[in-house]
Chain A
Amino acid sequence: MLQVIRNSLYFGGVAALSDVSFSVERGEIFALIGPNGAGKTSMLNCISGLYHLSAGRIVFDGKDITRLPAYKRAELGIARAFQNIELFKHMTVLENLMLGRHVRMKSGVLAGGIYWGKAQKEEVEHRYAVEEIIDFLEIEHVRNMPVGTLAYGLQKRVEVGRALALEPKLLLLDEPMAGMNSEEKEDMARFILDIHEERETTIVLIEHDMGVVMELSQHVAVLDFGMLIGFGTPEEIQANPKVIQAYLGEESLLEVQG
């Protein structure tokens, strides 16, 4: 589904990513983990097209997307939820989700301005799809509120909803559970599993909570200082000495082995 091939990304002399390769299979939940500053978000930015690679290639669905701008990747079916909420905060929840359907809709300036016949029909049709997502994420009660006024946990949910509205083939979630209490985390984990099962969406997930990562994901890639230090199933990752070293330090590795 997604092949990341020898990706490098430099900011001046600093290597945010160096020679990272991994592949994501269709229909799996894939976790990207690593200590702070390891380059996880940079990796997602490269996949969604906000950063352009210094070297390497990204192949999505058999198509080389390395040079495509971000909005074209969205058209191909890559959607993204951000770590620091990037919602349109003056728009209501509904409008945010409707915007998520932008690439699935067609009407232009004239049709929209006249709002008669086709454009109106299109709006109503897509409203059904959006209401389905609102039901699914249990945010009915806030649908007409400007998202800027919502609580943090709800905003996170709306952000996932906006990405879902695009009907993505590949959904990139950057720390969807950061800053949540355990109840909210459970809700979010349930949503992620449901998205995965009911909508058959491939999901790439950045998460710090190891419990969540090990429970949800089929494959895990570990980054440290911009380099891939581990790739495999959750069990393999837990047993990988390099990963233990990166997370827990040198001495604990000796303890584990000793």
Chain B
Amino acid sequence: MAETTAPVGKRYPAVTYAVGREKIREYARAVGETNPLYLDVAAARAAGYDDVVAPPMFVVVYSSAAIGAALYDPEVGIDMQRLVHGAQEFAWERVLVAGEEVSTVVALDEVRYVETADLTYYVFGATTTDSEGAVVSTGVWSNIVRGAGR
């Protein structure tokens, strides 16, 4: 049978992230973004933003350390060699611009073993807030570990 010792409900310490202009540009280029709002300060300012805008999927960058701490938590005990990224959800409340600082809290929301398929689902929820405490984005990270039960 699957081990069910993973600490469902465990919340991890908040991880802060300073959103930087060059990191936004690096990310935007890596995913092929061409919208000048992500790359050109003048264009972003002309559109009414203080600095370059982070593409929505930049959520991956600012929540990565917080998710990583949960994913690699020995108490959760995920075998990284058997890990598959099953599904992903994000919801955004507003865009972020360079110069902001955000904070992400992750919790292990669910662990589910599917015996017929011998798969274990680990679902992590992430919530990112801005310096005022307002929610910027939320994420649901669904990871699947193959064959963990045997």
Decide whether A and B assemble into one complex: no
State the B residues within 8 Å of A (CB): none
